[in-house]
Structure 1
Amino acid sequence: MFFRLPVKIILLILACISAAVIWQQAQLAVLALGRIDPVPEVETLIAEERYAEAADYLDFFLNYDYVRDDPNAQALHAEIEKVRGSLSYRASKLGEGLFEGTSDEAIGKAAGVITDFFVIGDLRDLAAQGSNWVQGEEVDEVVAALAAIGVVATAAQVASAAATVGTAGAAAPAAAGTTGVKGGVTILKAARKLGKLPPWLGKTLVNSAQTVKKTKKLDSVTDLFNDVYRLARTPGGLNLLSKTSDAASLRRMAKAAETFGDSTATLYRIGGPTFLKTAARAKQLGTESIKLASTYGVKGLRVLDKIGPTRFIKYSARASKIAYKGDFFDLIARFLAMLPTWLLYLLCGLGIVAWIPWQWLKRLGQSLIPEKQIPAA
């Protein structure tokens, strides 16, 4: 196999580049990533007057210098804080919690929780659904089921609290369990009213309410409601709840919320199911590594899962130091990172083959073969 000199030089260069890419493949994968600019998403949320979501989303990114040093992000943060701190805004959110039992702000959530925990909310909702039934209007079976479960939970909560006192604390776990159910009832009512309750959960609640009413026990719903209650204590918990598809996915979402706290809704907004998959390995990957990878989007989470937290953090730090590299360098890095491994090895092989001295080997082979003896006449 023979190659002309220009071809051999080109193949050698390609082989060297391919070898370098193979050697630095992990670093190139990070360099090829682009970080998320949160400003457009925040502006959209502000335009829709979803200030609580906008604040949570922007606050997550403000932990990183590339956003913290952005004047546009700083201006949006100041605007959001001004609106959320105004008396009229806080009063409207308080009213939502008291009269509707729903709110996306802490003050409204607190009001809703208070009314529901003191059975006022449950009786209110039962009365409303009863009135609808009497007047021949549509009855929301899910809200009625939740209210019925809430009444039973309140009675159990009172009984558990009395038992705790009488047994010097031995009945405390039962009291905690009923508190979880009450918290679950609260958030599920809010989810229903805001259209955030997934269909599978509505059916489950209606069926469970029948069991609870018959047995007057909460055993059949305790685990489910405890998972919901864990989401209830997380900002954006209703949005997270709406993304679940069954009890198993609810459990995964609740565990993620327990691990990542206030950042969970934003992380899920960024990574979706990929984030949940990565969150399940939080002990191995590290919560801070997952948060950092999320600033690069879904691709960042995938690269983290592939190369591990130590190298991801190191290469991300290097990438931030050469942030001035420009679009051309980004384009080159992304192109090289996308090249399949088999192609890189093929180019390396061609580079080696091109410089093998085939003619010399041929002559050497011929010299080693003895000449045929010509027989005498």
Structure 2
Amino acid sequence: MFFRLSIKIGLLVLACVSAGVIWQQAQLSVLAISRINPVPEVEVLVSEERYAEAADYLEFFLNYDYVRNDPAAQALYSEIEEIRNSISYQASKLGEGLIAGTSDEGIGKAAGVITDFFVIGDIRDLTAQGVNWVKGEDVDEVVAALAAIGVVATAAQVASAAATVGSAGAAAPAAAGSTAVKGGVTILKSAKKLGKLPPWLGKTLVNSAKTVKKTKSLDSVADLFSDVYRLARTPGGLNLLSKTTDAASLRRMAKAAEAFGDSTATLYRIGGKTFVTAASRAGQLGTDSIKLASTYGAKGLRTLDKIGPTRFIKYSARASKIAYKGDFFDLMARFLAMVPKWILYLLCSLGVIVWVPWRWFKKWSLPFIQSKQTVAG
């Protein structure tokens, strides 16, 4: 008797817990995920002397109290900024831009594009590839293609600028378009030098250059270079470019960069394709909600998509007020959030069924069944 009663009480407790989990499953799904501690990742980047990338990554998390109030994060950020602001560091990045044509810092990027942005850089590259061809050496078709497109873009810039003056600004959109292509050429040259140019884009450029050379028009590459230009204006844009697989993924990445600006590279580093998917729904999910969810990693982004921004923000705020949850609480929350709903509903049903007074029900229903049988007989 005691054993049966214990089982019934146990099932009742499980039913109550299951009902609570069903009721609070959205909140548990937020409690079950942990926020990212950026300090270890930043320390790795600093050890590799990737100071600009480290600063961008840490700056994103410093927007949130749990990192902003962390002394270790504050000290690490001060250390990075001290190095980046030093004269020797700035001088080295300037030289890097002038010599290699590429850099991860603003001063180096500016130095690297000076010659490339003007037609002299394109003519230089075309000449170099022509010399290689004459000598029977390997010709870099991508560099030659970019240079050819760059020459046409420069001519279009000059023509558009003159037309803009003559038409009192009516030709400004054409000037802006040719400038975007020219800027895209410069960016893609840097990507090629850094090994950040994806294979699909190299093939596309070679084919597109033939069309541009034949038609003397930039129409066939305008959209492509516009997306490249938008993407590369954000910090870490070349890394984002290297992750694209076709023109459609480039367009999605460019739109994400437009929506999230300087945070885009960091958000992609955290969430990868999950972030790009969330960014495509930024109108419904909200940019601030996506940034907040990203502090929990890819799981946070998936949870945001599942429960919606309003509940995610509310439950995240509640979770942040818990000073210490402990390992046991974390494990319990993760376990309960992972239990399928059908199991929870089954436990609820069992908890009710075991307390139904079946003997009373049988006693009450037996005369009714017998009367039915008599009538039938």
Q: Tell me which interval the TM-score lies in, with the shorter structure as reference length.
A: over 0.9
The answer to whether structure 1 residue 200 and structure 2 residue 169 are counterparts is: no
- TM-score, normalised by the number of residues in structure 1: 0.95
The answer to whether structure 1 residue 291 and structure 2 residue 295 are counterparts is: no
Provide closer, same or farther for how the CA distance between residues 155 and 369 of structure 1 changes in structure 2, counting only shifts above 3 A: closer
Equivalent residue number for residue 35 of structure 2: 35
Measured in 1, the distance between the counterparts of 2:300 and 2:4 equals 43
Shift of 1:369: 4.9
Measured in 1, the distance between the counterparts of 2:60 and 2:213 equals 43
Equivalent residue number for residue 50 of structure 1: 50
Measured in 2, the distance between the counterparts of 1:97 and 1:351 equals 71
Equivalent residue number for residue 156 of structure 1: 156
Equivalent residue number for residue 228 of structure 2: 228
Equivalent residue number for residue 258 of structure 2: 258
User: Cα deviation per residue 1:84-120 (whole Å; 9 max; x = unaligned)?
Assistant: 1111221222222223221111111122233222223
The answer to whether structure 1 residue 239 and structure 2 residue 211 are counterparts is: no
Q: Which amino acid aligns with 1:56?
A: D
Shift of 1:122: 1.7
Equivalent residue number for residue 86 of structure 2: 86
Equivalent residue number for residue 9 of structure 2: 9
User: Cα deviation per residue 1:172-211 (whole Å; 9 max; x = unaligned)?
Assistant: 0000000100111011001100000000000000111111
The answer to whether structure 1 residue 217 and structure 2 residue 217 are counterparts is: yes
Equivalent residue number for residue 142 of structure 1: 142
The answer to whether structure 1 residue 269 and structure 2 residue 269 are counterparts is: yes
Q: Which amino acid aligns with 2:162?
A: A
Equivalent residue number for residue 114 of structure 1: 114
Measured in 2, the distance between the counterparts of 1:138 and 1:59 equals 44
Contact 1:208–1:220 (Cα < 8 Å) also in 2: yes
Measured in 2, the distance between the counterparts of 1:158 and 1:80 equals 42
Provide closer, same or farther for how the CA distance between residues 103 and 370 of structure 1 changes in structure 2, counting only shifts above 3 A: closer
Contact 1:112–1:186 (Cα < 8 Å) also in 2: no
Equivalent residue number for residue 19 of structure 1: 19
The answer to whether structure 1 residue 320 and structure 2 residue 320 are counterparts is: yes
Segments of 5+ residues of structure 1 without an aligned counterpart are none
Q: Which amino acid aligns with 2:52?
A: A
Segments of 5+ residues of structure 2 without an aligned counterpart are none
Give the stretch that moved more between structures: 217-226 or 115-124: 115-124
Shift of 1:135: 4.0
The alignment partner of 1:4 has SS state of helix
Measured in 1, the distance between the counterparts of 2:47 and 2:113 equals 28
Provide closer, same or farther for how the CA distance between residues 74 and 64 of structure 1 changes in structure 2, counting only shifts above 3 A: same
Equivalent residue number for residue 100 of structure 1: 100
Q: Which amino acid aligns with 1:71?
A: P
Q: Which amino acid aligns with 1:83?
A: I
Q: Which amino acid aligns with 1:12?
A: L
Provide closer, same or farther for how the CA distance between residues 32 and 230 of structure 1 changes in structure 2, counting only shifts above 3 A: same
Provide closer, same or farther for how the CA distance between residues 9 and 176 of structure 1 changes in structure 2, counting only shifts above 3 A: same
Equivalent residue number for residue 126 of structure 1: 126
Measured in 2, the distance between the counterparts of 1:9 and 1:100 equals 74
- TM-score, normalised by the number of residues in structure 2: 0.95
The answer to whether structure 1 residue 361 and structure 2 residue 361 are counterparts is: yes
Measured in 1, the distance between the counterparts of 2:323 and 2:330 equals 10
Q: Which amino acid aligns with 1:307?
A: I
Equivalent residue number for residue 302 of structure 1: 302
Percent identity between the two aligned chains: 81
Shift of 1:44: 1.4
Give the stretch that moved more between structures: 288-297 or 207-216: 207-216
Contact 1:113–1:183 (Cα < 8 Å) also in 2: no
Q: Which amino acid aligns with 1:36?
A: I
